Structure 1
């Protein structure tokens, strides 16, 4: 898994490429909580993430809690149909703001 960071007009864009599972979740856990605490607006693109396991969901939940604790906003973007299904079944769709793509996510953050 690769994590790319980019600043887009005051919004931190994190793009994850590859599977987010028990073997790679630690990589995101090492980055996401600190970034959401340090940045008021974050977009996490999962457009290149074909699979998210329960370990990946746990890391995303940690990131969401870190963002909420600071009053920051975390928006997910570009979920594939299969990843979106995992979010819907697990109830995570109601926890996160989810947009179709990065541009929509950036627009939602103003």
Structure 2
């Protein structure tokens, strides 16, 4: 998985390319831990994300909890496969998906 991060002031966009799974979730978790302080708007771009596992969902849930305290988190450009995962797991009720 490739993580493309762009920070503009208090806004951060993270575009993921590949698979967010057991192998790559720790990489995203570490990236968020290092850079989420002071961020008021976190945007995930899932245009090129092909797969999302429960480990990836856990990282997203953790990021959402953090952002609930300091701002907002939005997930954009979600494909049909990933949206189905969000619907089946109930994450559509927890996350802001545009």
TM exceeds 0.5? yes
| Runs (4+) off by over 4 Å | none
Measured against aligned partners, the alpha-carbon deviations of 1:33-60 in whole angstroms (never above 9, x if no partner) come to 4433321011111111011000000000
In the superposition, the TM-score normalised over structure 1's length comes to 0.81
Q: When you count strand as a share of all residues, which structure comes out higher?
A: 2
Q: Is structure 2 residue 49 aligned with structure 1 residue 49? A: yes
Structure 1: unaligned runs, 5 residues or longer:
100-110
Q: How many matched pairs?
A: 98
Partner of 1:91: 90
- Going from structure 1 to structure 2, the CA distance change for 1:34 and 1:94 (only over 3 Å counts) comes to farther
Q: RMSD value over aligned CA atoms?
A: 1.5
Q: Map residues 2-81 of structure 1 onto 2, 5 A cutoff.
A: 2-8=2-8, 11-70=11-70, 72-81=71-80
C-alpha distance in 2 between matches for 1:34 and 1:93: 26
